[in-house]
Structures are given as structure tokens and as C-alpha cells.
Amino acid sequence: MSKCLICSDNFNPFVDFGNMPIANAFSLKEELFNEYTFAMKVGFCENCNMVQLVEQPDREKMFHENYAFFSSTSNYMINHFNDFASSVISLQNLNENSFVLEVGCNDGIMLQSFLSNKIPCLGIEPSQNVANVAMEKGIEVITEFFDQPLAQHISKIHQKADAILSANVMCHIPYIHSIYDGVKTLLKDDGVFIFEDPYLGEIIEKTSFDQIYDEHVFLFSALSISYLANVHDLELVNVEPQITHGGSMRYTIAHKGLKKVSKNVNRLIEKEKAIGLDKKLAYMSFTKSVDKIKDDLIGLLTRLKNEGKKVVAYGATSKSTTVTNYFGITPDLVDCIYDTTPIKQNKYSPGAHIPVLPYSQFRESNPDYVLLFAWNHAEEIMKKESDYMGKKRHWITYIPDVKVS
């Protein structure tokens, strides 16, 4: 039995992925003998409806001065965050007297839009190397983990916030009660806390099991977020689906009773109940679907190998650490992974030890098949590579099921 991080009720895990390394720990050859692993199991709390990891590595093992994920590696995401910022500017009528705080600003992909609109903003980003990139853009950043004590400190040096924003960060934080206390401290009476994360409903529907890895301690739904907000005297006032990261949800939270609650909130909660996200059964069938993808993908890669085909992968994503380690995909089946991120290049993927090579070498490698680990960026990547791939080369995708195209 494990204890729920939200409501302290007991629950049992519904899926066990076995021992997993740190998803973004790309290593040099000499570091491979010493890889840290943890037991990755996921459970569903029937009391508050939160889906969560049973165990998570210490935060310093994941977020540090060599963090491997830089948000601005996707042009699509740059546009997405520019649109996100514009929507907040008009929702809150922001101007040069306002104040915006972003939790987990990474390389400044979103705050750069506030900066260029002359709206005062502050980023909180504990991973020093990505924070440096934001600071080089002229963004003010505190390089610490956000929590209630840090919020207290910020409240002494800044006005309260018109908007607290966060993308793909809230689901990373097991001490989330401290985050919500911090939000309560820093949010103006008419302020909004808006965050987006991969959406549980999409993960279940698409069997996107690879959204589960060390950093993603929670998979949120409107059901679980409204429970959590309520505990902190806050209220979920809007939900807006996003197509990013394979299907995300943007949640807007305000002080309880101070903003009108959109009809979208109840509609989504009712839909979640109708598809059974509040019942164990949905999670049991998810596990079966993951194993079907495993059998199909390993079957395909083994057959291609036996036929002498050259198979490489595209995008050394965090998600791919779950895929390669759970499925047992090693360099026997996939020669290497091409990626544009310098810090990942000429290293080995966590656990599976597949070489990660610079994207600049992708085309000269002349593959027959390309396994798309960055499937959430399929539209952007397939468009960019369509001339090169032509009719002779094929993409392999595996969410929601294994497909060759």
C-alpha cells in the first residue's frame, strides 16, 4: 500500500514499469557503470482521483546545472508559448504595472513574450544551465525550486502577481501542497494561476504511457485538480484542451468564489466520470494496452533487424527512456538516436545505452526506418523531413498503436 501525495489515502499501484533510470541522464561512456535507478510504479487514488508515481527520485537528481531539456528546441512550442502569453495579457489586461510569475521558466520560452511587451515578470527555474539561457535574454530568474518558503521571500521583494503561470512543471512536483500554498500567498485577489500539463484523459485514450517517467509524478485531470484547488481555498475556474505534448489541458485557478466558473469545468468533470477516470477499471485496461504496444513494436523491430534494415531513432526524449527501458530496446534493435540538443549529443541514452548523435548526421546515416521518439512533435518533424524521407524511408510511431508510414 502507498500513501496518496494529495489526500494521504492508501492505494495500490496499477502498473509496474520495473527499475528505471533518470529519464534525462544522458551519460558519457565512462559514467555508464554507475547509473541510478528507482522502482517506477503508478497508482490511482480512489479518494481524490489523482494518478501518481509511488516513488520519485530526489529533485536534485533530476533538476540541476546539467538539465538536458531545453524548451526552445521546437519551433511549434515557441509559437505555442507566444500565443499562451498573448492570451494571458488580454485575459488579465496586463501592462507595465502588472506582475507575472512563471514557475519552471526553463530557457525563457514563454517569459520572453512578456519581456518584449514590457510586462514585468519573474521566472523561477532551479536548473541553472537552462535558467542561464533565460537570463541571457534579459529575463529575471531566481534559480531555486519554487515552494511556499520561496513564495514568502518573493512576496517581500515583489508585488503580488496578476498571473502565475506554469507549463509542464506542476506535474513534476510531489510537494505540490507547498506550491499551492505559495500560489495562495502570491496571487492578487483578481489574479489567476494558469498551468498546463499532459492530460490524463488523453494519456488513457491514446495509451501514451511514455508520459510516465521520473519527472512526471502526477497525471492530472479536472477531477483531481478541482480537489487539490479546493483544499487550498482556491477554485478551478476554466479548462482548455491543448494539442501540445500529445494532448494537454490548461487549467485556470483563482481564489475561491472570486471568479466566474466556466461551464467547461463541469462539462469536463462529467466527461471524465463518463469515461471512468474516477474508477480503477480504466487503469487496468490501460496496462493491457501498453503491453500490446510493447509486443507489436518489439515484433516489428526484431523483424526489421532480421531483414537487415537500418533502423535509427529521432528525438532523445525523456519519454523514450520509459519506452526503451520498459520494452528492452537496445542498440541491437535501434542503432542510434539523432537529436538537436548539444548536451545530449555523443552520449548514451539512460539505461538502454543507445548512442545519441548530433542531428546534423541524421541524413548521411541513410536509414530505412526512423523510430519517432518525439512523436508529440510529429507534425513539425515529419513536415521538415518529408523531402528526405520520400517514399523509400519510413517512419515508425507507436502512440496510440504501432504504425509504419
Q: What is the DSSP letter of 262?
A: P
73 binds, among ligand DWN, ligand SAH, none (CB under 5 to 8 A by kind): ligand DWN
The single residue listed with the C-alpha cell 518584449 is 116
Q: Of 14-22, 134-142, 147-155, 369-377, which segment contacts ligand DWN by CB under 6 A?
A: 369-377
The span from the CA of 317 to the CA of 324, in Å, is: 11
- Which DSSP string do the residues of 110-167 spell out, in sequence order? THHHHHHTT--EEEE---HHHHHHHHHTT--EE-S--SHHHHHHHHHHSPPEEEEEEE
Q: Which of 125, 147, 215, 235 binds ligand DWN (CB under 6 A)?
A: 215
Q: Which is nearer to ligand SAH, 182 or 367 (CB)?
A: 182
Question: Which residues in 63-102 contact ligand SAH (CB under 6 A)?
Answer: 63, 67, 69, 71
The span from the CA of 336 to the CA of 317, in Å, is: 13
Q: Of 9-17, 67-75, 109-117, 174-182, which segment contacts ligand DWN by CB under 6 A?
A: 67-75
Q: Which of 121, 194, 311, 374 binds ligand DWN (CB under 6 A)?
A: 374
Beta bridge partners of 241: 249
The span from the CA of 211 to the CA of 221, in Å, is: 14
The span from the CA of 4 to the CA of 1, in Å, is: 10
The span from the CA of 333 to the CA of 327, in Å, is: 11
Contact 298, 272 (CB under 8 A): no
For residue 393, give the C-alpha cell. Answer: 524511408
Q: Which is nearer to ligand SAH, 106 or 336 (CB)?
A: 106
Beta bridge partners of 348: 27, 355
User: How distant, in Å, are the alpha carbons of 103, 136, 387 from that of 124?
Assistant: 5, 15, 41
Q: Which is nearer to ligand SAH, 78 or 298 (CB)?
A: 78
Query: Is residue 344 near ligand SAH by the rule CB under 6 A?
Result: no
Minimum Å gap between C-beta 313 and ligand SAH is 21
Q: Which of 82, 266, 287, 340 binds ligand DWN (CB under 6 A)?
A: 340
Query: Is residue 145 near ligand SAH by the rule CB under 6 A?
Result: yes
Query: Nearest CA to 130 among 98, 169, 104?
Result: 104
Query: Is residue 42 near ligand DWN by the rule CB under 6 A?
Result: no
125 binds, among ligand SAH, ligand DWN, none (CB under 5 to 8 A by kind): ligand SAH
CA 86, 91, 95, 100 torsion-angle sign: negative
The H-or-E segment that residue 206 falls in is: helix 200-206
Q: Which of 49, 112, 168, 324 binds ligand DWN (CB under 6 A)?
A: 168
Q: What are phi and psi of 253, to 5 degrees?
A: -125, 140
Query: Is residue 134 near ligand DWN by the rule CB under 6 A?
Result: no
Q: Of 12-20, 133-141, 287-295, 338-346, which segment contacts ligand DWN by CB under 6 A?
A: 338-346
The span from the CA of 108 to the CA of 104, in Å, is: 9
Q: Of 92-100, 131-139, 226-234, 314-322, which segment contacts ligand DWN by CB under 6 A?
A: 314-322
Query: Is residue 397 near ligand DWN by the rule CB under 6 A?
Result: no
319 binds, among ligand SAH, ligand DWN, none (CB under 5 to 8 A by kind): ligand DWN
Query: Is residue 140 near ligand DWN by the rule CB under 6 A?
Result: no
Taking the CB of residue 245, how many other CB atoms lie within 10 A of it?
20
214 binds, among ligand SAH, ligand DWN, none (CB under 5 to 8 A by kind): none
Residues that bind ligand DWN (CB under 6 A): 69, 73-74, 168, 215, 315-319, 339-341, 359, 374, 376-377, 380-381
Residues that bind ligand SAH (CB under 6 A): 63, 67, 69, 71, 103-104, 106, 109, 124-127, 130, 145-146, 167-169, 172-173
